[in-house]
A and B are shown apart, each in its own frame.
Chain A
Amino acid sequence: MFFITLKRIIKSGVISFWRNRWVSLATILVMVLALFMVGALLFSNVLLSSALSRLEDKVDISIYFRTDAPESEIKNLLSSLSGLPQVKEVEYVSREQALEDFKKRHQNNSLVTRSLDELEDNPLGASLNVKAKDLGQYEAIARFFEAGIFSSIIDKVNYFQNQLIIDRLSGILGASRQVGMGASAVLALVAVFVVFNTIRLAIYTNREEISVMRLVGAKNNYIRGPYIVEGVLYGVIAAVSAMIIFYPLTLWLGPQAERFFGGPDLFSYYLENFFEIFAILLFVGVFLGVISGWIAVKRYLKI
C-alpha cells in the first residue's frame, strides 16, 4: 500500500511537472537565479577571504635587539616566543644577516658602502619578525616583550609605532567580513523569498484543484505529495543548471579575479570543490522547493 501510494505520488508529480511545463520552467528560472546568487556568494566569499588573508599576512611586528645582546639570550627569547599560542610564525634575522641585507639594499649607494667599511664593528642588531595568528593578538605579543625579563636585550618593538595602523586595519578587515556576511545573508534571504513566492503563486493557481481533491476523499499527504515531488524536481534541475552556468563563468572570470584579488583561480576552485558546491546548491534548491511547496499547499488543506 505504502509503495503503491508513493509510486503514484511520484508519477503524479512528474506528470504534473511536465504538463505544466511553462509554469515549471518559470519556477526553475527563478530558482536558478536564486541558486546562482547563492553560488556567487560562495565564490565571492572565497575571493574576499583570500584577499583579506593576504592583507592580514602582510602585517607583522619586528623586535630589534641591542647590538650587545648575547645570541644565547636571543635564542632563549625565541624559544619562549614560539611557545605563545598567539604566535603563527617567527623569523630570526641575525646581526650578520641584517648587515648583509642592508648592504644588498644599498649596494648602489657609495656613501653608505664607504661609511660601513670605515666602521670596525657591525652597527646593526639582530631582529625578529613575528606574525600573529590574528590581527587582534599583536598587542598581547608586544606585551610579552614589555614584561621585563627580556627588556635588557631589546632595543625597540615597532608594534607601538604601528599600533594605530594595525588597529585600523584590524577594524577594516573585521568590518569587511561582517559586511560580506551580512550582504550574503540578505541576498540569500531575498532569493529564498522570491523562490517561495514563485512556488506559492504556482500552487495558488491550483487551489481549486486541491479543494476538489479533498472533496473526493484524498488524504492531505496524497494531495501534498505531488507538489513536494515537483519542488524536488525544481531544486535538482535548478542546481544542475546553476552548476552548468558556473563552468564557463568561472573559466572566464577566474584569471581576471585572480589578478584583481590576488586570490585563488575561481575555475580551479570550482573544479576542486565541484561536489561540495553542487551539494550545497542541491540542498538549498531541494530544501526551498520542498518547504515552499509544503507551506503553500498547507494553506489549502485546512479541513
Chain B
Amino acid sequence: MIYFDQVSKEYSPTSIALEDVNLGIAPKEFVSVVGQSGAGKTTLVKMLLGEEKPTSGKVFFESLDIHNLLPEDLHQVRRRIGAIFQDFRLLPSKTVYENIAFAMESAGITDEEIEADVSQVLDLVGLGSRINHFPGELSGGEKQRVAIARAIVMRPDVIIADEPTGNLDPINTKEIIALLRKINEFGSTVILTTHNKDVINGLKKRVVTMERGRIIRDDKEGRYML
C-alpha cells in the first residue's frame, strides 16, 4: 500500500534526514517507527503527507507517486490519510465539532452525513459532551482524542500518528494507544512514530527502527531495541 523506494532527504550536505530508505507497508498493518530524536521519523511522516519532497527516490501511495501528483490529486490522497501529531494541531478558533467536521465539509459531504459521522467518532473517542468546546478549553488527552476523531472521521485508509503520546501522561497514553489499536482493527493501516519504550513493547506489532536517517532493524513482532 505504501512504499518508500530508495528515499533520501538532504537538507544540506551536513544535514541528512533520510538516507536510502526502502520500506513497504501493507494494508491494515500496524507499524511502529522508533528511533531517537533526529533519526528521521518525522521526515518519513512528512514525506508520506507530501509536506516534504525527497532529494532522491520516490514515495508511493498505492500506485501513486506522492511527489509527482497534481495539487488536486494530492488533496484526494490526503483525504485518505489521517494525521495525528504530538502538538495536536487543532484549529484553535473552531469548536470540537467544527474541527472534526472541517475535512468532511471541505470534501463537500452533506450536513446530515457530517452530523452523523462526527457524533459517531466523538462517541468512539469518548468526547460526546465536549462537542461545543474550543481546543483551549480541553486537556492534553482530550485534545489528542479530538485529533484522532478528526483523523478517522473520513474513514481513511491510513492513520499516521507522529509521537501522539509525546505530550500525554501514562493514563492518557494508554487510552490513545488503545484507540489506535481499535482503529487498526476496524481496517485502517496505522503508522505510529514514537520513542516510548513501554508503548512499543506493549503493542507486539511490527517495529521499524531508525538511526541517523537509515532503517537499521525491521522486526515483525519487535520490541524497542535502542
Query: Binary interface profile of A, 209-225, with partner B (CB < 8 Å = 1, else 0)?
Result: 10011111111101100
Count B interface residues, CB 8 Å.
26
Inter-chain contacts of A214 with B (CB < 8 A): 78
Residue of A whose beta carbon sits closest to that of B82: A216
Check A215 against B51 for contact (C-beta < 8 Å): yes
Partner of A16, one of B51, B77, B93, B154: B93
Residue in B closest to A215 when the chains form the complex, CB atoms: B83
Among B74, B93, B150, point to the contact of A216 (Cβ < 8 A).
B150
Complex contact B71–A217 (CB within 8 A) = no
Cα A222 to Cα B75 in complex, Å, equals: 11
**Interface flag for A19 (CB, 8 Å):** yes
CB <8 Å contact, A1 and B108: yes
B14 at the interface (CB under 8 A from A): no
Contact B91 A217 (CB under 8 A): no
A208 touches B102 (CB 8 A): no
Main secondary structure of the interface of A (DSSP, over half): helix
B93 and A209 form a contact (CB under 8 A)? yes
Q: Tell me, in angstroms, the Cα distance from A16 to B71 when the chains sit together.
A: 26
B78 contacts A217, C-beta separation under 8 Å: yes
B139 at the interface (CB under 8 A from A): no
Q: Does A8 sit at the interface, judged by CB under 8 A?
A: yes
**Closest CB of chain B to A218's CB: distance in Å?**
4
Query: In the complex the two chains form, is A215's CB within 8 Å of B49's CB?
Result: yes
- Return the CB mask of A1-35 against B: 1 if under 8 Å, else 0: 10011001000000010011000000000000000
Give bound CA distance, A30 to B74, whole Å: 38
Let me know if B108 and A4 touch, CB within 8 A.
Answer: yes
Instruction: Give Cα A217 to B81, complex, Å.
Output: 9
Give 14 new A-B contacts, CB below 8 A, not counting A16-B93, A216-B78, A220-B71: A4-B108, A209-B93, A213-B102, A213-B106, A215-B78, A215-B83, A216-B79, A216-B106, A216-B150, A217-B79, A217-B107, A218-B106, A219-B72, A219-B106
